[in-house]
Structure 1
């Protein structure tokens, strides 16, 4: 038995657009495409769709779902991916709970006509990348940087944020001024960016591990380019690409110098 996109979408409770998108990204292929251009799905594809929807309901990204379903050992791949995803969700929950506490405190103080304590107001709003840091660099790295950050006074945190904003704004200034990523100005800025990393406990740059530091910076450069949030942080997508390429060049120069 076969089902068209319309029939399968109605049975699955999703849109036909979603099915066509799954086909386009290679997540769910139709069993055949008719001469009329219609996609047709058989029972095996329906079973795969059911699996996709179950994993999607956990909040897992479609790319991760595809990796699981295409793995040779799907059950173990699914277990491992779900464990990683669960740790992310638990970290997100902890951050959300801190934010709820902060908002509750602010609301209570406002209702009582008192000024909120700014350190309480900021709780949970500086841990956005906890899950990502833990996954990439380990729990110890996150704990070290987190303790360092929360050990600062509010004034020190504000100063750090202002310095960081100035660091990122400088990248955009250089890019808009027409500098190349390998120019002297860009490489001086890359050095400043490396020094900024070195101030943060838990990073390989802070500990002086040159090999791990290089891997970290290259990974961060990729993250800058791929995460739209950083496009806003740097001021433009062009500025992000410029900074990422300058950092890559900087690591390459350091490697050549050591060689």
Structure 2
């Protein structure tokens, strides 16, 4: 079974021009081009387009998407990648479900003149959406420590903490673009700041060498983190991972 480029564009909510561009850059080639020049796409191309759209929603640029898709070696790899996407979508659905319930509760109480509770109004809008993932990776105690610490900060302190991270990411990207080595002095100085920034949230229990290097690996393995770092410059996530691994071996082992 196959679909014309117009059918695919209409169903995906995109344009024929976008699909042609994907073909020109080698991201999504049509399965067949008719004698009249019309492009057609089969089921394999349809699945590939689904993955492209999912990765675009995560914020990845086209070069990063091409690299991710080129790593597939067959249906098993594609299925594994879609499993990971599905987990992310399920997490997002649960978060949005909490937001919907929160807004519904707020509307009902406003209309009925009932007092509002902060935890009801703001449910689904805070960092607790990461609770399941943090607990799975590092244990419930680690999440609870970080949660208590985050809630203890003022709004200004939270913005400052987030600004520090953006500055560090920008400096990593600049070092990578300048051709610095992950094990060089400049990169390792930025990584020291990264370690201090991460340690703040661990509340007196600084991450071990294994945990710190593991975080760096997660920046590459998890498309959400890759998108965050590569938004500062293509390849930044891998550069950060390598720098963190060197720092862990040199200073934390």
Q: TM-score range, shorter-chain basis?
A: 0.5 to 0.7
Flag structure 1 segments of 5+ consecutive residues without an equivalent.
Answer: 232-236
Deviations 1:73-107 (A, max 9, x none): x1x33433333222222211211122223323333
Specify the SS of the correspondent of 2:4.
Answer: helix
The one of 4, 8, 11 aligned to 1:8:
4
CA distance in 1, matches of 2:137, 2:245: 25
CA distance in 1, matches of 2:142, 2:103: 24
1:167 maps onto 2:164 in alignment:
yes
CA distance in 1, matches of 2:27, 2:170: 40
Moved more, 162-171 or 18-27: 162-171
Contact 2:5 2:16 survives alignment (8 Å):
yes
1:86 maps onto 2:86 in alignment:
yes
Contact 1:106 1:116 survives alignment (8 Å):
yes
Q: RMSD of aligned C-alpha atoms?
A: 5.3
Flag structure 2 segments of 5+ consecutive residues without an equivalent.
Answer: 57-64, 173-177
Contact 2:217 2:241 survives alignment (8 Å):
yes
Contact 2:33 2:39 survives alignment (8 Å):
yes
Contact 1:201 1:207 survives alignment (8 Å):
yes
Judging changes above 3 Å, is the alpha-carbon distance between structure 1 residues 47 and 170 closer, same or farther for their aligned structure 2 residues?
A: closer
Greater RCO (CA < 8 Å, at least 6 residues apart): 2
Judging changes above 3 Å, is the alpha-carbon distance between structure 1 residues 252 and 157 closer, same or farther for their aligned structure 2 residues?
A: same
5 Å-filtered alignment, 1:89-238, equals 89-112=89-112, 116-127=116-127, 130=130, 134=133, 139-141=136-138, 143-151=140-148, 154-156=151-153, 158=155, 161-165=158-162, 167-168=164-165, 171=168, 187=189, 190-201=191-202, 206=205, 208-217=207-216, 219-220=218-219, 227=227, 237=232
Q: TM-score w.r.t. structure 2 length?
A: 0.57
Deviations 1:30-79 (A, max 9, x none): 65698xxx85657xx534334446x469x643749x8399533x1x3343
The one of 47, 55, 58 aligned to 1:61:
55
Specify the SS of the correspondent of 1:61.
Answer: helix
Match of 2:60 in 1: none
Q: TM-score w.r.t. structure 1 length?
A: 0.56
CA distance in 2, matches of 1:69, 1:216: 22
CA distance in 1, matches of 2:250, 2:73: 38
Specify the SS of the correspondent of 2:123.
Answer: coil
CA distance in 2, matches of 1:31, 1:246: 41
Query: What's the offset of the Cα at 1:140?
Result: 3.6
Contact 1:102 1:122 survives alignment (8 Å):
yes
1:49 maps onto 2:45 in alignment:
yes
Contact 1:106 1:121 survives alignment (8 Å):
yes
